[in-house]
Structure 1
Amino acid sequence: MTDEEALCEAARNGDSDKVKSLIESGADVSYFDSDGLNPLMHAAKHGHAEVVKDLIDAGAPWNALSPSNHSAGDFAMEAGHQEAFDVLLNAALQAELILGTIARKGNANKISDDYLDDRVSFSEDKIMDAESKAVMMAWEKPLMEAHAKAVCSNGGHVLNVGFGMGLVDTAIHQYAPASHTIIEAHPEVYDRMKRQGWDKKDNVKIIFGRWQDVVSQLESYDGIFFDTYGEYYEDMREFHQYLPKLLKPGGIYSFFNGLCGGNPFFHVVYCQLVSLELGSMGYSTQLIPLPVKDCLSEEIWEGVKHKYWQLDTYYLPVCHSTNESD
């Protein structure tokens, strides 16, 4: 038995002393055994929180995935091992706050620009980009209606960043806000909006362009929704820096919470991360669980290259300022 195999066995058995000894002797903590699991996954799966911490401290990657697309955090979640889960979540948040290893990409703007330059195709239940990836899909309609209800709950002036299929804007319009501003960056989506008469609707103002380029044209709003395509967490994080100027005191902010929508643990990490980062800016975030099991059927995703959502619960974020004197 190699040191790495012994490390996996010791991690599975919760033998902390043996794990520490093997780590000190140079055993590779990122090794995957014949079952497709690394030592951290074994420890998490069996709820050995102390061993989980030892392995994390030794540099075991918290975000490594098994062949079945499970991370150590997923194994801890599924088995109900709260203490091991908490150790992994804390390690993940610390790493993401400093490094941003999952969803932050240095080429985000390039991908966004590529999408805006490409043609998109429209059908009754989806918009697809040139690579057959879904930009937006009809299964999101109940979620968009819930987002609209949240950002319109104060009445007043509402801003939506990203029109897409118009699901959230249709819902917002039904609440008859004092004004309804829509930012859309894709030229074909923008043309389709005009063909559908959005530029002639009461109290609707359309601003064409990337939000980064038109932010100076914006005012302040009672409700804001953010849902762009071809961007990453860093882009949304950048948008959040403008919230103190864009969101009125007492206003409501929400965003499409598709962060790492293909992995349960990574999704939890990003829900917590965005809540922490907004919290540091003086905003509290409530995450409202909504069941979305209907969207998991194969028929819905037929012809779509990438399933951007594979979880049975959607956590709808409702954010508001904690500073009453803003």
Structure 2
Amino acid sequence: MDQLGAQLCEAAKSGADPNELRGLIESGADVSYFDGHGLTPLMHASKHGHAHVVKILLEAGAPWNALSPSNLSAGDFAMEAGHQEAFDTLLNAGIQAELVLGTIARTENKNGNLDVDYLEDRVIFSEDKLMDSDSKAVMMAWEKPLMEAHAKAVCSGGGHILNIGFGMGLVDTAIQQYAPVKHTIIEAHPEVYERMLRTGWGEKDNVKIIFGRWQDVLPQLESYDGNSVLFSVIKLN
């Protein structure tokens, strides 16, 4: 299995043809395999700009949000090397994954099954990532185009915006570019909330920060159009 995984990494790195790639995968090569450098086949393909390989690996279930020992994802590698087509393919995969995860999370929340472990967990901020204590990515900087697209969508409906989950502040920074009349942010993680205040978000004239789980702070909310509400509460893995 490890040998097949290594072969898949090499095939991804070289931009092998689809038949060779699919043959390795069908033979049992693990698409989530980490080689001796801590890189997956998807990371190799992204790093070298082989968009067709990226697509095949994603279709086979390769984890788009896996991290290297340097805390870089496939999206980071594609973005740093300027491989736009590979990056766009990964970004679209991220959008689809978040839509699915968001639907699942909303269903669980309605059933009262919200997992509160994350709220009790320590988080680690770096320049381009927000990580939990298990070194799993909560948000990564390469998602910025996705967050900007979200911001554009919610801000087109009016001047009163509600975002649930601040994270690194990517989407809220994008929302501020549209100068909404009122920008309400709900954040439940104490360390993220503290960092928001420390970095001046509480001093912005059009920003209202509410600390707590959105289910618990409903009485503090105003009325919002459905298109002006954004959920950003899902961890990446």
Shorter-chain TM band: 0.5 to 0.7
**Equivalences, count:** 169
The answer for the alignment partner of 2:68 in structure 1 is 66
Instruction: Label 1:214 to 1:56 Cα distance change in 2 as closer, same or farther (>3 A).
Output: closer
Instruction: Label 1:3 to 1:171 Cα distance change in 2 as closer, same or farther (>3 A).
Output: closer
In the alignment, the residues of structure 2 paired with residue 50 and residue 159 of structure 1 have an alpha-carbon distance, to the nearest angstrom, of 41
Name the TM-score, length of structure 1 as normaliser: 0.41
Q: Deviations over 1:49-85 (max 9, x none)?
A: 1111111111111111111111111111111111111
The answer for the alignment partner of 2:225 in structure 1 is 244
Instruction: Select the structure that is richer in strand.
Output: 1
Give the gaps of 5 or more residues in structure 2. 107-112, 122-168, 188-192
Deviation at 1:32, TM superposition (A): 0.9
Instruction: Label 1:35 to 1:149 Cα distance change in 2 as closer, same or farther (>3 A).
Output: closer
Q: Please provide the CA RMSD for this pair.
A: 4.4
The answer for the alignment partner of 1:52 in structure 2 is 54
In the alignment, the residues of structure 2 paired with residue 31 and residue 81 of structure 1 have an alpha-carbon distance, to the nearest angstrom, of 22
Question: Which residue, out of 27, 37, 58, partners 1:25?
Answer: 27
The answer for the alignment partner of 2:218 in structure 1 is 215
> Could you tell me which amino acid in structure 1 is paired with residue 115 of structure 2?
N
In the alignment, the residues of structure 2 paired with residue 244 and residue 10 of structure 1 have an alpha-carbon distance, to the nearest angstrom, of 49
SS in 1 for 2:179: helix
Q: Deviations over 1:211-240 (max 9, x none)?
A: 5445346544xxxxxxxxxxxxxxxxxxxx
In the alignment, the residues of structure 2 paired with residue 64 and residue 82 of structure 1 have an alpha-carbon distance, to the nearest angstrom, of 19
Compare CA radii of gyration and give the structure with the larger one.
Answer: 1
The answer for the alignment partner of 1:8 in structure 2 is 9
SS in 2 for 1:47: coil
In the alignment, the residues of structure 2 paired with residue 65 and residue 41 of structure 1 have an alpha-carbon distance, to the nearest angstrom, of 9
Give the gaps of 5 or more residues in structure 1. 116-139, 186-209, 221-242, 261-265, 267-326
> Could you tell me which amino acid in structure 2 is paired with residue 98 of structure 1?
V
Name the TM-score, length of structure 2 as normaliser: 0.54
Deviation at 1:98, TM superposition (A): 0.8
In the alignment, the residues of structure 2 paired with residue 58 and residue 111 of structure 1 have an alpha-carbon distance, to the nearest angstrom, of 29
Instruction: Label 1:150 to 1:37 Cα distance change in 2 as closer, same or farther (>3 A).
Output: same
Question: Which residue, out of 86, 89, 108, partners 1:87?
Answer: 89
Identity of aligned residues (%): 52
The answer for the alignment partner of 1:107 in structure 2 is 115
